[in-house]
Structure 1
Amino acid sequence: MTKSSISRGYQVLKTALQYGLDDLIPSNVAPWYLKLLRHSLFWIRNQHKDKPAGERLKLALQQLGPIYIKLGQMLSTRRDLLNDEWAMQLAMLQDKVPSFDGKLARQEIETALQAPIESLFDNFDEQPLASASIAQVHSANLKSTGADVVLKVLRPNIEAQIHADLQLMKKLANIVDSLLGSDNRLRAPEVIADYRHTILGELDLNKEAANAIKLKQNFADSEALYIPAVYQDLCSQRLMVMERIYGIPVSDIDALNAQGTDLKLLAERGVQVFFTQVFRDNFFHADMHPGNIFVSTEQPDNPQYIGLDCGIMGSLTKEDQRYLAENFLAFFNRDYQRIAQLYIESGWVTDSTDKYAFEQAIKQVCEPMFNKPLSEISFGLLLLELFKTAREFEIVVQPQLVLLEKTLLYIEGLGRQLYPQLDLWQTAKPFLEQWMDEQIGVKHMFNQIKQQLPSWADKIPELPELVYDNLKLGKSLLTQQQKLLDKYLIHQRKLHKSNFLLITSAILLICGTILFNQQVTLSGACACIILGAAVWLMGWRSRPKNRTL
């Protein structure tokens, strides 16, 4: 372990003790080394005894910095693992990070470009436009065309810091897992493994650039969503260059109202964009918080979203897509039995689950939703309640579904902020019904045939020859099988004859032995024994020599 790792470990430990996180582990189950630490670091005491546990955890993560804040934000969506109080506190974490020096940013950019900034860009501004936990953004003009662009560059040495923190998190997760026992639902090592995959993906700006290009292609000519163009030839692992956009932050309701934005249409389009990404494209933006979404100023009566930061993208398996769509529709139709069955079929709960009890638990969560107007039904809250039910029935929530749930909460929250009367179902249900029809209906069957036609057309000219070759092969196989069958029957006849003679000889020998022992007639006994021996010899010699076919 390096000196920096030891220093970071001490800082994390000190922060945990200052916020009393060690008190969350009862003394009767605390291991000896934790008790030893408590006594060894006696000068570090809980300074926040008046605050509840969830708030103390939030403040501790906030003090530890961006990487731990992001971990807390991810955990806040895991209502299947955490209780409400903890999840609500973690959801309040704000990732506000001071910017780093613009001259240092210039050096990092020139290292990534392997050229002076002035050779490719004009008007580079060392004052950043925005700063986040992993990267910050600077404006410039492309020298070749004069186009307005932004340069997103990773923070210096951020990789080393993240890897050190992840290594420490992994060790802490293993300790927590051993303390809680093998049957705990938190599964801390798995949570950290999921987080590791997500955070490391954000360290590669080449990957983010590829994601943005793919998402832009998916929504080419869309009136609902615009993705800025990416200058891929200028991108690298630590630098991303893209078109600069001008829009209104989606959370700035006053500015949107001032320009006369159709907020109802904007809210509905948010829902449509979400379901299109999930079900049509199976490639969805999984970090759509307000800081990553703007609204174009060009057509307020026909508003268009502008999406940024494609570092975290999600996708589902075809099975999860279908089960999710059926779950949504079953909920709308109040078919709780079908919801329970879908959870079991999808493998989200085990076959041993009490299906009736599970159905009743789902009904208890969902039914109150129908006592309200449809416009007041919160899809996001419904998912959170279902995730709480997951704790009771030990549902294994897949990481991709957690990303989906987080994204849906963002979208629904934005939609209701923009237009509180948003009717999520009226917007989503037709899309889902159409998608289901395309997946399992007549339209799906027609599309499958349509897709296979070019392949079939290529094979049709070869069909007569293929049929002839197959018939010829079939005839050859039948001939071989007939020969094998004939050999088998001959073998069985010989074996049957041999077995008959051997059994007869055994009977004669037994009879001769009995007569001989009883001394009834020695000549008859000897005759039986001699005859039996002769028959046995005949039977043995008549046995098939080769026992295999």
Structure 2
Amino acid sequence: MAEADRARADPAAGAGSTRARYRRILRFAAWHLALTWWYELLLPRLGLRRITERTRTRRMIRFARRFRALAVELGGLMIKVGQFLSSRLDVLPPEITKELEDLQDEVPPVPFPAIRDLAEAELGTPLGNIFAVIEETPIAAASLGQAHRARLLPAAAEDAGMSGVVVKVQRPGIEAIVDVDLAALRRVGGWLSHFRLVSDRADMPSLVEEFAQTSLEEVDYLQEAANSERFDADFAGDERVAVPRVAWERTTRRVLTLEDVTAIKITDTEALRAAGIDPVEVAPVFASVMFDQLFTTGFFHADPHPGNIFVTPTPGAGGLPWRLTFIDFGMMGEVPAGTRSGLRKLLIAAAARDGGGLVSAIGEIGVLLPSADTAELERAMSRLFTRFGGMGFAELREVDPREFLAFANEFGELVRSLPFQVPENFLLIIRAMSLTSGVCSSLDPRFNLWDSVEPYAARLLREERGNLLQDASRQVVDAAAVAFRLPQRLDRLAARAEEGSLTAGNPRLERQVARLDRTVRRAVSAVLFAALLIAGAILRHDDPALGTVLLAISALPLLHSAWPGRRGP
């Protein structure tokens, strides 16, 4: 039995189990960090890089398998960490992502009696007083909770406006497990921040806190219910998207009752074809809906894996004969306005195959630090677009692997030399886009992301031009107002000149002069400190008293040279 299950079965053992869980996570992380340091940092410095390269694939597979075993046994946030790693196709080797990609399907369910006890305690009444029937076998079991199909009693159904529902219940004791896992992850994040290879790319403590905030929101079902209604409002009137209604009277922080919207799993291509739906037509619609969330509304579903999206046939409806039904709004993300603007520019530049524009957008998002020399990166991106731009996944698979390898090695060296970082609020964006790409490729092996990007980017470009036109109109109005007031201001200026009361100032120049003055003073102090220190050290041998005095006095100009002084306005 796993440690978390033992803690639920024996509350008195909970504290000991918590400590053991915490220590186990830290031991796992410490051991593999030590291995990474040994193979990736120390051995290359000793001239043994060939050993590192020869064993890398085997080591990565072994790490992924061990982490997977740990995550399945412990559950909790370890499953979430594994799911996130499995979606990082952009930076992690396929040896790792392939081992972890189906972690979401390996979570063992909690026995129904424990689920029933928690639900009845939360709802304040036996389940038989609310539901005519509730299935004991869950339709989905996740790391933080599990879902059971049910049917409301007639009176409750009338109140809720629905009969068939899905009841989502937290795993008993999951909040304590989440607290332990977050404490361990914070410790590991602190360790990683001391590795320059990591700290130069990401602020690990901040990223862990971002993950913590998302995780804590996931164990609050009232927050999830509010997220679903906000998402529904964002797509109100959009025939492509559907969202289950919330039965608020039967919802608490640990129990969530939703309309049963179970339909065809989005990647079940056989069932889609049986329903008369072409999977190839679903892929671009799904991509477009995800683009809308990331680039327009700014509020997006951060966990769009196949289990969270259904294709619901809508026979007889105008327009599309089906809809995309999203469920599970526990993991949601928000794109700040500045980041959203950068993402829009990035999408437009990618569609236009504009290497310079793409690099500029990356810098605006915050992925590329301002100190980066981007000339080489712009040239590399232009070559990338020239050779591979516009290709779909199927076409890319037909390219000679040696060509890919040569370009990847050259591009990888360039990327490692630049000051990249992972900004806050970006992990969920990367996860959402990685999962979107994977789902679309499952629907259509020849899916070409460019076919969806280009029309969407064209629409964004039209909107940007509209915004520019509005900005230009406002500037014309502002300029007209300034021109209208200009004669009066010139009259007042001439009057002050005649009175002799006109003065001129340049605050920027004054600040620069003040800074130069402080710099010169500190430089003089530094020279004086060095002279006194050397003189004291030389004289101390022949005249200990005078030498000691000079050494002591040298501390005064040292303090002045190091002290930043009072800054100007």
TM value normalised by structure 2 = 0.67
1:437-484 superposed Cα distances (whole Å, 9 cap, x missing partner): 2244269729999xxxxxxxxxxxxxxxxxxxxx9xx99xx8xx999x
Deviations 1:361-418 (Å, cap 9, x if unpaired)? 323443322374798479xxx9xx8999654422223343332232222223222322
Shift of 1:137: 0.8
Taking the aligned partners of 1:104 and 1:447, their CA distance within structure 2 comes to 63
| 2:321 alignment counterpart | 302
Aligned in 2, Cα 1:271/1:29: closer, same or farther, shift over 3 Å? closer
2:25 matched residue in structure 1: 12
1:333-366 Cα deviation digits (max 9, x unpaired): 2221222223334443223211211212323443
- Residues of 2 paired with 1:29 and 1:411: CA distance? 35
The partner residue of 2:68 within 62, 67, 76 is: 62
Instruction: Name the SS for the 1:140 alignment partner.
Output: strand
Q: Aligned partners of 2:194, 2:471: CA distance in 1, in Å?
A: 54
Q: 1:97 to 1:90 in 2, by over 3 A?
A: closer
Is 2:417 the partner of 1:407? no
| Letter paired with 1:367 | T
Q: Match for residue 435 of structure 1?
A: 460
Structure 1 position 151, deviation (Å): 0.9
Residue 123 in structure 1 maps to residue 133 in structure 2? yes
Can you list the C-alpha shifts for 1:57-95, whole angstroms capped at 9, x where unaligned? 222222223322311322344567656654555446445
Alpha-carbon deviation of 1:424?
3.2
Structure 2 residue aligned with 1:203: 219
TM-score (norm 1): 0.70
| Match in the other structure for 1:416 | 441
Q: In the TM superposition, what is the alpha-carbon distance from 1:209 to its structure 2 partner?
A: 0.6
Which aligned pairs between 1:309-320 and structure 2 lie closer than 5 A? Answer: 309-320=328-339
Task: Tell me, in whole angstroms, the C-alpha distance in 2 between the residues paired with 1:399 and 1:229.
Answer: 32
Alpha-carbon distance in structure 2 between the residues aligned to 1:376 and 1:320: 31
Q: Could you give the per-residue CA deviations for residues 8-41 of structure 1, whole angstroms, max 9, x where no partner exists?
A: 2343356569x866433329999xxxxxxxxxxx
1:89 to 1:448, Cα distance in 2 relative to 1, 3 A? farther
Q: Does 1:107 align with 2:117?
A: yes
Q: Higher mean Cα deviation, 308-317 or 117-126?
A: 117-126
* Structure 2 gap ranges (5+): 1-13, 43-54, 398-403, 475-484, 503-569
- Compute the displacement of 1:434 (Å): 2.1
Note the 1:86-101 alignment, pairs <5 A. Answer: 86=96, 89-91=99-101, 93-101=103-111
Question: Whole-Å Cα distance in 2 between the matches of residues 72 and 116 of structure 1?
Answer: 36
Aligned-residue offset at 1:229: 0.8
Once superposed, what is the RMSD of the aligned Cα atoms? 3.9
Distance of aligned partners of 1:216 and 1:345 in 2 relative to their CA distance in 1, 3 Å threshold: closer
Match of 2:510 in 1: none
Task: Say whether the 8 Å CA contact 1:262–1:302 is kept in structure 2.
Answer: no
The within-5 A match list for 1:222-371 is: 222-299=238-315, 302-370=321-389
CA contact (8 A) 1:174 1:189 kept: yes
Is the alpha carbon distance of 1:273 and 1:51 closer, same or farther for their aligned partners in structure 2, counting shifts above 3 Å? closer
Structure 1 residue 207: Cα displacement: 0.9
Q: CA deviation at 1:206?
A: 0.8
Counterpart amino acid of residue 435 in structure 2: Y
CA contact (8 A) 1:166 1:196 kept: yes
The separation in 2 between residues aligned to 1:14 and 1:299, in whole angstroms, is 56
SS at match of 2:134: coil
Q: Distance in 2 between matches of 1:16 and 1:10?
A: 10
Match of residue 394 from structure 1: 419
Residue by residue over 1:206-225, the C-alpha shift from the partner in whole angstroms, topping out at 9 and shown as x without a partner, is 11111111111222343212
Partners of 1:120 and 1:369 lie apart in 2 by 58
Residue among 139, 146, 152 paired with 2:149: 139
* Residue pair 2:87, 2:434 contacting (<8 A) in 1 also: no
* Change in 2 beyond 3 A, CA 1:153/1:247: same
Q: 1:150 aligns with which of 156, 166, 180?
A: 166
Contact 1:58–1:93, Cα closer than 8 Å, also in 2: no
**Distance in 1, Cα, partners of 2:93 & 2:166:** 41
Q: Which residue of 2 aligns with 1:41?
A: none
One-letter identity of the residue aligned with 1:167: A
Q: Does 1:194 align with 2:210?
A: yes
Q: Aligned partners of 1:340, 1:28: CA distance in 2, in Å? A: 29
Matched length: 441
Alpha-carbon separation, structure 2, partners of 1:186 and 1:443: 34
1:148 and 1:294 map into 2 onto residues whose CA distance is 17
1:26 matched residue in structure 2: 38
User: Following the alignment from structure 2 to structure 1, what is the Cα–Cα distance between the partners of residues 443 and 413?
Assistant: 28
For 1:233 and 1:337, locate their aligned partners in 2 and report how far apart those are by CA, in whole Å: 54
Contact 2:85/2:100 (8 A) holds in 1: yes
One-letter code aligned to 1:7: A
Alpha-carbon separation, structure 2, partners of 1:422 and 1:440: 30
1:74 maps to amino acid: F
Describe the shift of the 1:400–1:189 C-alpha distance in structure 2 as closer, same or farther (beyond 3 A).
closer
> Structure 1 residues 16 and 437 mapped into 2: Cα distance closer, same or farther (>3 Å)?
closer
Aligned partner of 2:529 in structure 1 is none
Partners of 2:221 and 2:395 in 1: how far apart? 40
> Aligned letter for 1:62?
R
Q: Answer whether contact 2:347 2:453 (CA < 8 A) is retained.
A: no
**DSSP 3-state at the match of 2:371:** coil
Question: Is the Cα contact below 8 Å between 1:139 and 1:149 reproduced in 2?
Answer: yes
Q: Are the equivalent residues in 2 in contact too, given 1:130–1:137 (CA < 8 A)?
A: yes
Cα distance change on mapping 1:210 and 1:339 into 2, 3 Å: same
Matched residue, 2:532: none
Q: Partner letter of residue 154 of structure 1?
A: Q
- CA drift of 1:271 comes to 1.6
Q: Post-superposition shift, 1:52?
A: 2.0
2:227 maps to 1:217:
no
In the alignment, which residue of structure 1 is the partner of 2:517? none
Matches within 5 A, 1:372-391: 372=391, 376=395, 390-391=415-416
**Are the equivalent residues in 2 in contact too, given 1:295–1:305 (CA < 8 A)?**
yes
Contact 2:57-2:95 at 8 Å conserved across structures: no
Contact 2:224 2:330 in 1 (8 A): yes
How many Å apart are 1:299 and its aligned residue?
A: 3.4
